[in-house]
Amino acid sequence: MRIIHFLVICALVISAAYVYRIKMDSTVRTERVLRLRADIREERNKIAALRAEWAKLSSPARLQGLVERHTQLRPVDANQFDALKNLPARPPSFIKPNDPDPIGAMIDVVSPDEATGSIPAPASASSTPAATEGVQ
């Protein structure tokens, strides 16, 4: 009888210790989960703030202002669209393997102020300071 009592008490102590350990462990883990959740929320808030800022910076109203002030770009005209099937077939290449790249050479020659596209730049839009003011 006494031995049984002793064994039961031992089992009780051991199980109490074990339960305590599990409890402690779960508390630590819960705290970690909470901390991680807080971090995630913080990150989400930062992402939201950055997305809002990006939306503001890329809003059409702002972009239009910048484009009108700093570039010579204009809205697309219907004449500037064409279908892919209207493209002529690719001409055979006449460049020998060791020749310099002819298109690369062309890009080096073109000045950045030159207007591109199918519509020529307006007469006033040459790169003189007076003309730049006129664009603004």
Partner 1 sequence: MSDSASATPAEPFRQRLIRKLLYGNVDRAAKARARVGLAMLAFTAVFAIIALRLVMYGVMGDTHGRRGGAQDAVATARPDILDRNGEILATDVKAPSLYAEPRKLIDKDEAIELLTATLPDLDPGEVRDRLSSRKGFVWLKRELTPKQQHDVFKLGLPGVGFLRENKRVYPTGRDVSHLIGLVNIDNQGIAGMEKWLDGNGLADLHRAGFATDRQQEPIELAVDLRVEHALRDELMKAKEKFRAKAASGIVSNVRTGEIVAMVSLPDFDPNNPKEANDPDRINRLTTGVYEMGSTFKAFTLAMALDSGKTTLNSMWDTRTPLQYGRFRIHDDHPLGRAINTKEVFTYSSNIGAARIALSQGIEAHKAFLAKMGQLTRLRTELPESASPILPRHWGELNTVTIAFGHGIAVAPLQAVMGIDALVNGGYLIPPTFLKRTEADAMKLAKRVIKPETSDKMRFLMRLNAEVGTARKADVAGYYIGGKTGTAEKVINGRYAKKKVLNAFTAIMPADNPQYQLLVMLDEPQALPETHGFITSGWNAVPTGGKVIARIAPLLGIKPRFDLPPSDRLILATSRENR
Residues that bind partner 1 (CB under 8 A): 41, 44-45, 48-49, 51-53, 55-56, 58-61, 64, 75-79, 81, 83
CB of 63 to partner 1, least distance (A): 9
Name every residue whose Cβ is closer than 8 Å to that of residue 126 and which is 6 or more positions away in sequence. Answer: 113
Contact 37, 45 (CB under 8 A): no
Closer to partner 1 by Cβ: residue 57 or 105: 57
Closer to partner 1 by Cβ: residue 61 or 103: 61
Q: Please state, in angstroms and as integers, the Cα–Cα distance from residue 57 to each residue in 63, 65, 67, 91, 119, following that order.
A: 8, 11, 13, 43, 30
CB of 28 to partner 1, least distance (A): 24
Tokens of 23: 């409890």
Closer to partner 1 by Cβ: residue 45 or 116: 45
Closer to partner 1 by Cβ: residue 45 or 127: 45
CB of 60 to partner 1, least distance (A): 4
What is the Cβ-side half-sphere exposure of residue 66, based on CA atoms within 13 angstroms? 7
